[in-house]
């Protein structure tokens, strides 16, 4: 038996924490799909994700059909080292990606040259650092990066800030916080700023917590509190779920199940 991650999707009814009526999309045998991020362009809907062959991960995308199925994966980013978590964001009309590249001991910024297939390395944001699941967002006209390091096998929350995407970056926090590893983007919802994080209690990728966060740099205050959760009960065969994303049209998340070799 092997663990296999798959991706489920539903129409967004306005409640981002409602995960009922999901359509499940399964990878073929020998692969798994995880860490889905949504993107819309020119009237089409796309999903970018980790495609893993049980040896190394690459970044792929599919188009989302109206019946909530996906087109076959197209690989867009492959390196000698493992890739996952294709975090997407826009700046000045350009599309960028910061995938997880912890196996290379650096954080890499990629720019989309020709959508959706051609991506090029734009800059190495940090070198000699092993991080997982990097998120960037803008608040108070500053860039903020939330990521995690793993000293002594414990996830350490690392928060950095900069006036420019390309730095220089300064550290705001570097501390052990329970449930610190990202499980999707940071987002505003119902007048609160939320961070999706992995709940690893009982094993890797066990569930998802949504923490409301308070970020007050002027007074050196950072705080986060669990307000919502997603547990692996939304599918009869899963025992894990560790990534969430949404836009105005769809909600996506991944699930982990057992399959025969």
Q: What are the Cα distances from residue 21, in Å, to 13, 24, 131?
A: 11, 10, 34
8 Å CB contact between 173 and 157: yes
What is the model's pLDDT at position 153? 59
Neighbours of 26 (CB within 10 A): 16
**For the chain, which residues make up each domain, given as ranges?**
2-185+235-259
What is the model's pLDDT at position 219? 67
Is the C-alpha dihedral spanning 24, 30, 31, 32 positive or negative? positive
What is the model's pLDDT at position 150? 74
What is the model's pLDDT at position 58? 98
Measured CA to CA, the distance from residue 212 to residue 93 in angstroms comes to 29
Phi and psi for 56 in degrees, rounded to 5? -155, 145
Residue ranges of the chain with per-residue pLDDT less than 50: none
What is the model's pLDDT at position 255? 98
What is the model's pLDDT at position 235? 95
Phi and psi for 103 in degrees, rounded to 5? -65, -20
What is the model's pLDDT at position 39? 98
What is the model's pLDDT at position 97? 98
Task: Read off the tokens for 227.
Answer: 């307000």
Pick the CATH number of 2-185+235-259 from 3.30.450.20, 3.30.420.40, 1.10.3470.10, 2.115.10.20: 2.115.10.20
What is the model's pLDDT at position 201? 86
Task: Read off the tokens for 31.
Answer: 């692969």
List strands edge to edge, sheet with 118-127. 84-91, 94-100, 106-114, 118-127
What is the model's pLDDT at position 222? 84
Q: What are the Cα distances from residue 238, in Å, to 54, 97, 205?
A: 19, 29, 11
pLDDT digits (tens, 9 = 90+) for 37-70: 999 999 999 999 999 999 999 999 999 999 999 9
Three-class SS state of 51: strand
Task: Read off the tokens for 27.
Answer: 């990878």
């Amino acid at each position: 038996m092997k663990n296999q991650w798959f991706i489920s999707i539903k129409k967004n009814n306005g409640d981002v924490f409602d995960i009922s009526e999901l359509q499940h999309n399964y990878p073929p045998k020998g692969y798994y799909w995880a860490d889905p991020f949504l993107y819309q362009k020119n009237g089409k809907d796309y999903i970018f994700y980790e495609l893993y062959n049980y040896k190394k991960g690459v970044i792929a995308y599919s188009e989302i059909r109206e019946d909530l199925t996906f087109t076959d994966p197209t690989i867009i980013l492959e390196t000698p080292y493992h890739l996952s978590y294709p975090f997407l964001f826009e700046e000045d009309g350009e599309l960028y990606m910061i995938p997880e590249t912890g196996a290379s001991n650096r954080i890499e910024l990629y720019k989309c040259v020709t959508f959706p297939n051609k991506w090029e390395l734009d800059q190495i944001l940090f070198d000699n650092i092993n991080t997982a699941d990097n998120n960037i967002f803008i608040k108070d006209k500053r860039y903020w990066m939330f990521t995690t390091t793993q000293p002594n096998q414990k996830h350490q929350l690392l928060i950095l800030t900069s006036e420019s995407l390309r730095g220089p970056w300064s550290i705001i926090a570097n501390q052990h916080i329970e449930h610190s590893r990202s499980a999707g983007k940071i987002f505003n919802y119902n007048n609160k700023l939320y961070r999706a994080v992995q709940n690893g209690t009982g094993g890797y990728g066990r569930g998802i917590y949504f923490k409301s966060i308070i970020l007050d740099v002027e007074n050196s205050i950072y705080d986060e509190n669990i307000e919502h959760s997603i547990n692996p009960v939304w599918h009869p065969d899963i025992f894990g779920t560790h990534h969430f994303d949404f836009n105005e049209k769809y909600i996506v998340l991944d699930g982990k199940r057992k399959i025969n070799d």
